[in-house]
């Protein structure tokens, strides 16, 4: 059923507007956003659509198309909904918007999210940014997409207890069709890099790993890199890890334990790979870009240790496929997706072979999507 029709069925009246915010794939620059590094994500056509109308009350009433979940959030008491099973992202965004001085009005919102949950393609960022945009617009506020991304990140950090960086929300809000977003996470300056993939496409492979403990492991890595920076700052003048040159890290590696050295080495080398990837893309050299994707996966596996056997199985099978130029895990890791650069003519065979090898090794199926790089926020009217 069409979203507007479902809205009418659930809320008993017509929706006034429909908006959407995108899921994202990160092409390269993994686990560096919270270290002040540059990242290169792109918004996807997988997205969170919302149908909205003002309801004349002081409540935000939210519902979803795919699950029977419903919630009612009192806009005068937004701080009280942290324990909602479903609806806490929305409450968190409303809470942070109020703190930032936005005018909020009561409204009904129906969510329809095509970003697979737990896929590492940022379904939560898409929900947050769609909520922030819908609330900003219904309240008649001035809309700045950069600021909506920051507010959405704060909601996830402060309200939902996930210590994520800015990348996902930023890409979800500011992505552009056919472009990747080169974002400097230290300054939030960004530029669009045209994504001319010629005879190739990006294939997203979801490892479908159940129950992965992403949040605790993620927070553990953040603590580790904070410790590494603290130790390095005894001898190096740097505000963040991403700005430490690789040779300086080598010169001062004795300041770190072997484990902290590997974590820092990932960050520093990944930042270098982002620079080289942008050059390769600008030169139209997709083979080179593909090789850098492979290097990134290796670093995430060996130095940062955020891959796991499922993502490794997918990346390994992809990397040896003759039509694949490069493949790596994308997002937080521990589960979720890989992104692979594959020649269009080889996509079907790629999916068949990688899918088969994965099933044989892991015991259940992976899912595959050909990525379409799209706008971040869309105002459907």
Binding residues (CB under 6 A) for ligand GLA: these are 26, 30-31, 33-34, 164-165, 167-168, 331-332
Q: Which is catalytic among the residues 95, 168, 303, 312?
A: 168
Q: Which bin fits 21, alpha (ψ -120 to 50), beta or left (φ > 0)?
A: beta
Contacts of 319 (CB under 8 A, 6+ apart): 294, 297, 326, 327
Please identify, using beta-carbon distances, which residue of 138 and 208 lies nearer to ligand GLA: 208
C-alpha dist (Å) from residue 152 to 81, 167, 195: 16, 11, 26
We find the least distance from the C-beta atom of residue 213 to ligand GLA, in angstroms, to be 14
Structure token pair of residue 144: 């700045």
Q: Please tell me the distance from the alpha carbon of residue 156 to that of residue 147, in angstroms, as a whole number.
A: 14
We find the least distance from the C-beta atom of residue 29 to ligand GLA, in angstroms, to be 7
Please identify, using beta-carbon distances, which residue of 120 and 346 lies nearer to ligand GLA: 120
Measure the CA dihedral 160/165/167/168, to 10°. Answer: -20
| DSSP letter assigned to residue 155 | I
**Are 118 and 23 a contacting pair, CB within 8 Å?**
no
Please identify, using beta-carbon distances, which residue of 168 and 316 lies nearer to ligand GLA: 168
Count of positions (residues) in the chain: 381
Q: Please tell me the distance from the alpha carbon of residue 198 to that of residue 343, in angstroms, as a whole number.
A: 9
Q: Please tell me the distance from the alpha carbon of residue 366 to that of residue 119, in angstroms, as a whole number.
A: 11
Please identify, using beta-carbon distances, which residue of 332 and 351 lies nearer to ligand GLA: 332
Is residue 303 part of the annotated active site? The answer reads no
Q: Please tell me the distance from the alpha carbon of residue 187 to that of residue 170, in angstroms, as a whole number.
A: 12
Instruction: Tell me the catalytic residues.
Output: 168
């Amino acid at each position: 059923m069409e979203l507007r029709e479902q809205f009418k069925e659930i809320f008993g009246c017509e929706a006034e507007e429909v908006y959407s915010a995108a899921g994202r794939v990160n092409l390269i620059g993994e686990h560096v956003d919270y270290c002040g590094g540059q990242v290169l994500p792109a918004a996807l056509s997988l997205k969170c659509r919302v149908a909205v109308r003002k309801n004349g009350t002081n409540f935000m009433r939210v519902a979803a198309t795919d699950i029977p979940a419903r919630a009612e959030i009192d806009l005068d008491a937004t701080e009280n909904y942290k324990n909602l099973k479903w609806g806490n992202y929305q409450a968190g965004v409303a809470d942070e918007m109020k703190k930032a001085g936005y005018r909020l009005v009561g409204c009904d919102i129906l969510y329809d999210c095509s970003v697979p949950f737990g896929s590492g393609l940022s379904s939560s960022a898409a929900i947050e940014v769609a909520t922030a945009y819908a609330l900003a617009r219904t309240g008649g506020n001035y809309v700045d997409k950069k600021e909506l991304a920051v507010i959405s990140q704060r909601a996830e950090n402060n309200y939902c207890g996930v210590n994520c960086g800015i990348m996902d929300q930023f890409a979800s809000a500011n992505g552009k069709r056919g472009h990747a977003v080169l974002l400097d996470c230290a300054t939030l300056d960004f530029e669009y890099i045209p994504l001319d993939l010629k005879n190739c496409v990006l294939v997203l492979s979801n490892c479908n790993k159940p129950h992965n403990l992403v949040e605790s492991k993620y927070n553990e890595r953040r603590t580790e890199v904070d410790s590494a920076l603290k130790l390095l700052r005894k001898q190096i003048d740097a505000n963040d890890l991403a700005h430490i040159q690789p040779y300086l890290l080598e010169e001062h590696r004795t300041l770190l334990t072997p484990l902290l050295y590997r974590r820092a080495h990932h960050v520093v080398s990944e930042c270098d790979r982002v620079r080289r990837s942008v050059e390769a893309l600008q030169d139209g050299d997709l083979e080179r870009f593909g090789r850098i994707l492979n290097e990134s996966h290796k670093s995430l596996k060996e130095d940062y240790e955020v891959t796991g056997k499922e993502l490794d199985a997918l990346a390994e099978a992809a990397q040896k496929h003759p039509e694949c130029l490069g493949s790596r895990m994308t997002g937080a890791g521990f589960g979720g997706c890989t992104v692979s650069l594959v020649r269009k003519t080889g996509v079907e065979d790629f999916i068949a072979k990688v899918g088969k090898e994965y099933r044989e090794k892991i015991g259940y199926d992976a899912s595959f999507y050909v990525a379409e790089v799209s706008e971040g926020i869309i105002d459907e009217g």
